[in-house]
Amino acid sequence: MSSVRVLTFLWSVLVPVMLGGCDEFPKDPNQTLERVRDGTMRVGIIEQQPWAVLEEGRAQGIEVDLVRKLAESLGAEIEWAHATGTAALQALIERRIDLLIGGQTEDGPWSTEVAFTRPYLTYGLVVAAPAGAAMTNMDGEPVRVPPGSALAADVEDKGGVAVVKDEAGVVLRAKPVWQVSPEEQVVAVLRQARHVVAVPRGENAWLIHVDKFFSAQRESVWRALTAMAEQ
């Protein structure tokens, strides 16, 4: 069969389908959005403060609140997955859950196995000096970073010395910009954190719905973060 004939055949199949109703475009291959609407939304979490954590088996955090709002807008019940962390990720890859949250960023290592939304929240991760420290850079200075954080490498790359414990004389702190108080001084920008949430690959209608919902929450998330920092 010649290719021209194949193309003609595909056209003749697709065009009637196309004319046959464009209520929702693109559609999901596995009808996730349709199923979740007035149904059940299966959600997994990667535990990370302040985005999503389990406290006595109950999910809490900024993204958890957003997911509850999303479920409400869709008239859906939430079924929280038992698994967290990489097990939850595996569940998403195998399509046993519909949504994975927990402070994931766009540069996460599994971007080829799951589908990320566009970043719904972007901010800088910076090094801040306390008021009156009179520092303009972190060259050769010790910088306190959260234990197990990738920020340690960023600090070292940019000339600082990463430390994980509070010691005498360590005044610089690596932290998200929303934790920087007005008195503090930003001496270096380490990287941008671009927050995303993940859905199974190829569920394009679902992806777009979640994407639009989270994008619309940027302001309220920002307010929640700054309020949290002030406490």
Partner 1 sequence: MKIRPKFEWPADKAKAHRRAIYLEWLTIGWMLSIVLVLYLTLGNSQAMRTAWFEDMLGILPAVAFLVAARIERWPPDQSFPFGYYRSISIAYLVSAAAILGVGGYLLYESALKLIMREHPTIGLTSIFGYELWMGWLMIAALTYSIIPPVVLGRMKMPVARDIHDKVLVADASMQKADWMTGVAAIIGIIGIGFGFWWADATAAGLISLDIVKDGGKHLWRAAKDLADESPRTVERADPHPSLERAREAALSVPWVKKAELHLREEGHLLSGSVFVVPAGGVNAIDRLHEVRDAINRADWRVHDPDVCLVTESELSQMPGPQNPETGEPERAQK
* CA torsion angle 131 184 62 162 (round to 10): -90
Q: Residue 73 burial by CB count (10 A; 0-12/13-18/19+): exposed, middle or buried?
A: exposed
Q: Which is closer to partner 1, CB of 31 or CB of 136? A: 31
Query: Which residues in the 23-62 window bind partner 1 by CB under 8 A?
Result: 25-29, 31
**Closest separation in Å from C-beta 67 to partner 1:** 18
Q: Tell me which stretch binds partner 1 (CB under 8 A): 20-28, 133-141, 155-163, 187-195.
A: 20-28
Residue 58: strand, helix, or coil: strand
Q: Could you tell me whether strands 77-84 and 172-176 are parallel, antiparallel, or unpaired per DSSP bridges?
A: unpaired
Q: Tell me which stretch binds partner 1 (CB under 8 A): 13-21, 48-56, 83-91, 162-170.
A: 13-21
Q: Which is closer to partner 1, CB of 172 or CB of 196? A: 196
Options 201, 218, 224, 229; binder of partner 1; rule CB under 8 A: 201
Options 68, 69, 82, 118; binder of partner 1; rule CB under 8 A: 118
Q: Could you tell me whether strands 115-116 and 58-60 are parallel, antiparallel, or unpaired per DSSP bridges?
A: unpaired
DSSP state of 20: T
Residue type, 163: V
Options 204, 218, 224, 229; binder of partner 1; rule CB under 8 A: 204
Q: Tell me the C-alpha distance between 200 and 172, whole Å.
A: 40
User: Does 203 participate in binding partner 1 (rule CB under 8 A)?
Assistant: yes
Q: Tell me which stretch binds partner 1 (CB under 8 A): 14-22, 56-64, 75-83, 147-155.
A: 14-22
Tokens of 201: 């690959």
Q: Which residues bind partner 1 (CB under 8 A)?
A: 2-3, 6-7, 10-11, 14, 17-18, 25-29, 31, 111, 115, 117-118, 200-205, 207-208, 211-212
